[in-house]
Amino acid sequence: MSSERPKLGPDIPKVVTAWISASGRVVYLTKDRNWSEDLGDAEVLTGAGAAEILAWAAADQTRVSDPYFMQVTEDGQIAGRETIRESIRAKGPTNHPMFGKQAGNN
């Protein structure tokens, strides 16, 4: 039970995810420092430099809220112990398949 997410070591592939401040929609940080609703656009980060990118995201406070690291595989698929949570967050509620991105409902 926590809104705090697990800490991920530098070697674990990760992306930065957040919520758009105006809409609350889930987004992922891209290589060109934009935010995309498509996880496939996200930049996969490894190494110590990732922390700087998260710090940059945290400073992008007007556009987004509460950025954090989300674990992925090297090719950008959701991974790790938060896979269920992040899969639901990426797609939409499992009880309402007609809502969320899973329904193309953007």
Q: Is 80 in the site for other proteins (CB under 8 A)?
A: yes
Interface with other proteins (CB under 8 A), residue total: 30
Q: Which two tokens stand for residue 12?
A: 């674990």
Q: Is 25 in the site for other proteins (CB under 8 A)?
A: yes
- Could you tell me how far CA 64 lies from the centroid of its own chain? 11
Q: Is 81 in the site for other proteins (CB under 8 A)?
A: yes
CA-based torsion, 76, 77, 79, 83: positive or negative: positive
Q: Is 85 in the site for other proteins (CB under 8 A)?
A: yes
Cβ pair 18, 66 in contact under 8 A: yes
Cβ pair 45, 12 in contact under 8 A: no
31 HSE (CA, 13 A, CB side)? 6
Q: Is 55 in the site for other proteins (CB under 8 A)?
A: no
Of 22, 31, 34, 55, the one binding other proteins by CB under 8 A: 22
User: Which residues would be at the binding site for other proteins (CB under 8 A)?
Assistant: 1-3, 19, 21-26, 61-62, 65-66, 80-85, 88-89, 92-96, 99-100, 105
